A and B are shown apart, each in its own frame.
Chain A
Amino acid sequence: MTSGVLLIDKPSGLTSHDVVARVRTVLDTSRVGHAGTLDPLATGLLVIAVGSATRLLRFAQVETKRYLARVRFGEATDSLDADGRVVSSTDDVLRPLDLVRATAEGFLGASFQRPPMVSAIKVKGRRLHELAREGVEVERPERPIEVTRFEVRETPDPREWDLDIECSTGTYVRVLGADLAERLGTLGHLVALRRLRSGAHDVTEAVTLEFLEQCEDAPGQMRLAGDLLAGLESVVLDEIQTVAMRRGQRLRLEATSAGPLAAYDSAGELVGVLAAREELWQPDVVLVGVNA
């Protein structure tokens, strides 16, 4: 039974789900899921879980992600990227590099961000992009975000800027691009977006779909399922604890964090995930057998 993590460098034009569908075909298994959606226009790192590793996806929420975005000043679109319709435009687009940099620095640190109308977030049980299609504008609660890097680089086109952004999970880079334009007294939307990092994973470790489909050992491109749990505190269980956990029994353990914990056996195999429950640690996910 194949199980593990695949790092895919998504091409532009595919939805994250399209990527999952192609991975299903290559590996001939239906149990494939992804962490952190990338918009169709976007390229870069998409973390894919295969087999029982899909059960670990909900723990794979990493704290920071890094993107390279290209923003074009002069036009606002309804989706805030090049996939949307232009809703307004201006000729007042040229800004000096120093000013763009100084304005970008103003985004650093913790703040609140209003999700874009075209997004997968649900408000009162309806997805925002469905409501947007019907022309309904709804109240969207602001969400806390943190920006830890916001560097600006020139591009060959004076209306366009490259934004090297590191931010907390859940931050909309599209919104940062449009807000940057707004603070500079113009309009803007993203023309390109590429995810460079997600937690500990870097896009340079990812493979293309074409490579995965053509290479002779597609399952060999997978990493261990435990890769998804890099953000969790890990514990090593002794033999008795391992058996107990596999049976679903609660364990008494020393841990520094409030959990959840990634639990490994003495041979370094991932046993599963433990969650704190009344002074004890209760198995939340248990993977079956070796390389389960």
Chain B
Amino acid sequence: MKVTRYDLELTRPSVVALGVFDGVHLGHQTIVRRVVERARELGAAASVVTFDPHPAAVVSSSGGPAVLATLSQRLEWFEQLGVDQVRLIDFTMDIARQSAEQFVDEILVAQLGALSVVVGDDAHFGRAREGNLETLRVLGASRGFEVESAGALGEGRRYSSSLVRELLGEGDVEGANHVLGRPFTLRGVVMHGDARGRQIGYPTANLDTQEHQALPQLGIYAGLTRVEGDWIPSAISVGTRPQFYDGARPLVESYVIDYRGDLYDTEVDVAFLSLLRPEARFSSLEALVEQMGRDVAAAREICATYGSRRPDLLG
């Protein structure tokens, strides 16, 4: 899979998926799968046009919504779905001011030679979100590309990145995982902490996640940590420790069960399977250690049920 932030030297025309695709949930997967299928039919390249950073992070003063996944995760999922090339659009204020028509002509037609464009039926693009499915159809008719919408997917509520954020915020990891089509997974580098866990017999990997990363509600979770390609059962804490850290940014720590190696400065993925309990304060160190023993046992059990499936693979 080819990835570029600049003009593509395209040998072939494209079938294009257009969107932010934060989290690459089941709705996104339907769109991208359709693009790959249509590209094979037409003898074209399966292309994704996506944005980095998230457009809302550029245009909104509040920094936009928290993001579900890193760019590298998004790209891995595109590759798994069979995408041939990804055109990343650096979402600067310049491109935010581009009209929908300019965007279509410069990126979709001139750079990608679009034969077909597939979007969600709620897609918006161009200045002030002026472009939508209908504008795209009108432009497609005069530029000679077909437009398909992959209608809404979901039970009761449509699958969306905001639904995933909402479910995570409620601690409903199972619900979020269902919409994502795989476990919610944080990617980050293990950094040095205060080694307090080590002192009480539970050394944890402290995860340095990307800025604006969406996190599940504070609490203790069962999950898996990927260490050098293997997914190892883990008890994960998403918590705040205001007495030691400034700011309200929660800390993600994973106790990788039965693992004795050194993870410092390596990149790991931490996948969430189920909420075990909310965050709590303990009257004594003994009570905390006892509870952690129960958490680890519960995490082992949940991971055993999950089996040998790999959280990084799309279903």
| A residues neighboring B (CB under 8 Å) | 9, 11-13, 41, 43-44, 68, 70, 153, 156, 162, 164, 192, 194, 196, 202-204, 206-208, 210-211, 214-215
B113 A208 Cβ-Cβ under 8 A: yes
Min Cβ gap A285→B in Å is 31
Q: Which of B12, B41, B43, B144 makes the CB contact (< 8 A) with A207? A: B12
A204 B144 Cβ-Cβ under 8 A: no
Min Cβ gap B153→A in Å is 14
Min Cβ gap B113→A in Å is 5
Complex contacts, A208 vs chain B, CB 8 Å = 10-13, 113
A211 B41 Cβ-Cβ under 8 A: no
Min Cβ gap A158→B in Å is 13
Q: A12-B145, A208-B113 are in contact. List 18 more A-B contacts (CB 8 A).
A: A13-B143, A41-B144, A43-B13, A43-B144, A153-B41, A156-B149, A162-B41, A164-B41, A196-B42, A202-B43, A203-B43, A204-B12, A206-B12, A207-B11, A207-B12, A211-B10, A211-B11, A215-B9
A11 B12 Cβ-Cβ under 8 A: no
Interface size on B, residues (CB 8 A): 17
Q: A68-B42, A203-B43, A210-B110 are in contact. Are A192 and B9 (CB under 8 A)?
A: no
Q: Which of B11, B42, B148 makes the CB contact (< 8 A) with A156? A: B148
Min Cβ gap A196→B in Å is 5
Q: List 17 A-B contacts (CB under 8 A).
A: A9-B12, A11-B144, A12-B144, A13-B143, A41-B144, A68-B42, A156-B149, A162-B41, A194-B42, A194-B115, A204-B12, A206-B12, A208-B12, A208-B13, A210-B110, A210-B113, A214-B9
Compute how far the CA of A156 lies from the CA of B30 in the bound complex, rounded to whole angstroms: 13
Q: Which of B10, B144, B146, B148 makes the CB contact (< 8 A) with A210? A: B10
Complex: chain B residue closest to A155, CB-CB: B148
B8-21 interface code vs A (CB 8 A; 1 in, 0 out): 01111100000000
Q: A43-B115, A210-B113 are in contact. Are A13 and B10 (CB under 8 A)?
A: no
Q: Which of B13, B41, B145, B149 makes the CB contact (< 8 A) with A9? A: B13
Complex contacts, B9 vs chain A, CB 8 Å = 211, 214-215
The 10 A-B pairs at the shortest CB distance, nearest first, are namely A12-B144, A203-B43, A204-B43, A207-B11, A211-B11, A156-B148, A208-B113, A13-B144, A196-B43, A9-B13
Compute how far the CA of A164 lies from the CA of B115 in the bound complex, rounded to whole angstroms: 16
Q: Which of B12, B143, B146 makes the CB contact (< 8 A) with A192? A: B146
Complex contacts, A43 vs chain B, CB 8 Å = 13, 115, 144
Compute how far the CA of A43 lies from the CA of B143 in the bound complex, rounded to whole angstroms: 12
Min Cβ gap A22→B in Å is 14
Which of A44, A204, A210 gathers the greatest number of chain B CB atoms within 10 Å?
A210
Q: A43-B13, A207-B11, A211-B10 are in contact. Are A11 and B148 (CB under 8 A)?
A: no
Complex contacts, A41 vs chain B, CB 8 Å = 144
Complex: chain A residue closest to B110, CB-CB: A210
